[in-house]
C-alpha cells in the first residue's frame, strides 16, 4: 500500500472523526442548561448612572421559551427657579423598573442570538424641596405617593460562544412606559409660585448591557 493511500485513508478517518465529534458536541450543547448574567452599562432616559441588568435561564426543551428577569434603578435631581428668582423647587426622583421576560435562542452562524420580550412595572417617586430666599420651607417625601405604571420590554442579545460552555455577549433592552406626572398627589402648597414646571416626564428608553452565559 502506497504512502498516498495510507495518508488519504488516515485523513479521511480523521475528517470523519472530526465531523462525528462536532456533531456530538453540538448535540451536547443543545442539551445544556444555561444561566446568563448581564449588567447595565447605560440607559438612554437616565441623566446619570444606572444600576441593574438582566438574568436569563435557558433550557434544552424545544419550542418552550426561556425565562428571564430585568431590573433597573436610577435617580435624577432637577432644580427649578421661580420667575422672581427668590423661590427654588428641587425635585429628587427615584425610578425603578422590573420585568419578567421570555426569550428564544435564534440559530445563527458563528455568533449566538437571543430575542425576547417582557412585561412588568415602572415605579417612580419624587420628593419636593421648597426653598425661599435660600431658607428651607419644607419637604414632602411622603405626600407624593409612589407611582406604579405598566412597562413593556423588547430586547436582543448577540454573543460569541467559546468551548460550548461559556459565552460573552452584548445586549440592548428597550423599555416603553407612559409618562410620569412627578407632582401627582403632592401636599406641599406652591400655588403662589410662578414659573415652576411640573411637566410629565417620559422615562422610556434603551438599556445597553454586557454579560456572560455559562452552560452546565
Q: Identify the pLDDT of residue 79.
A: 76
Q: Which three cell numbers stand for residue 3?
A: 504512502
Label residue 36 exposed, middle or buried (CB < 10 Å: 0-12, 13-18, 19+).
buried
If you compute the radius of gyration of the chain from its CA atoms, what whole number of angstroms results? 27
**CA triple 178-126-48, angle to 5 deg:** 80
CA distance 68 to 56: 4
Q: Identify the pLDDT of residue 190.
A: 63
pTM to 2 decimals? 0.76
Q: Which fold has domain 32-215?
A: Porin (2.40.160)
Digits of tens for pLDDT over the chain (216 positions)? Answer: 444 444 345 444 544 443 444 444 443 444 578 999 999 999 999 988 999 999 999 998 888 999 999 999 999 887 776 666 667 777 888 999 999 999 998 888 888 899 999 999 999 988 877 777 665 555 544 457 788 999 999 999 999 988 878 999 999 999 999 998 877 766 666 666 666 666 788 999 999 999 999 988
Amino acid at each position: 500500500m502506497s504512502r498516498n493511500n495510507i495518508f488519504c485513508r488516515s485523513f479521511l478517518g480523521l475528517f470523519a472523526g472530526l465531523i462525528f465529534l462536532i456533531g456530538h458536541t453540538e448535540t451536547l450543547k443543545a442539551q445544556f442548561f444555561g444561566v446568563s448574567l448581564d449588567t447595565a452599562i447605560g440607559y438612554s432616559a437616565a441623566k446619570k448612572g444606572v444600576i441593574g441588568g438582566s438574568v436569563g435561564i435557558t433550557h434544552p426543551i424545544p419550542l418552550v421559551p426561556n425565562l428571564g428577569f430585568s431590573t433597573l434603578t436610577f435617580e435624577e435631581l432637577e432644580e427649578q427657579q421661580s420667575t422672581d428668582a427668590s423661590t427654588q423647587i428641587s425635585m429628587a426622583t427615584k425610578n425603578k423598573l422590573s420585568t419578567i421576560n421570555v426569550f428564544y435562542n435564534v440559530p445563527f452562524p458563528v455568533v449566538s442570538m437571543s430575542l425576547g420580550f417582557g412585561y412588568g412595572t415602572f415605579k417612580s417617586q419624587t420628593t419636593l424641596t421648597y426653598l425661599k430666599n435660600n431658607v428651607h420651607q419644607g419637604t414632602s417625601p411622603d405626600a407624593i405617593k409612589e407611582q406604579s405604571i405598566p412597562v413593556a420590554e423588547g430586547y436582543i442579545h448577540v454573543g460569541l460562544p467559546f468551548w460550548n460552555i461559556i459565552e460573552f455577549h452584548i445586549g440592548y433592552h428597550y423599555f416603553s412606559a407612559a409618562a410620569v406626572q412627578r407632582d401627582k398627589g403632592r401636599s406641599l402648597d406652591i400655588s403662589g409660585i410662578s414659573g415652576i414646571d411640573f411637566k410629565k416626564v417620559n422615562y422610556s428608553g434603551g438599556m445597553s448591557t454586557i454579560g456572560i452565559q455559562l452552560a452546565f
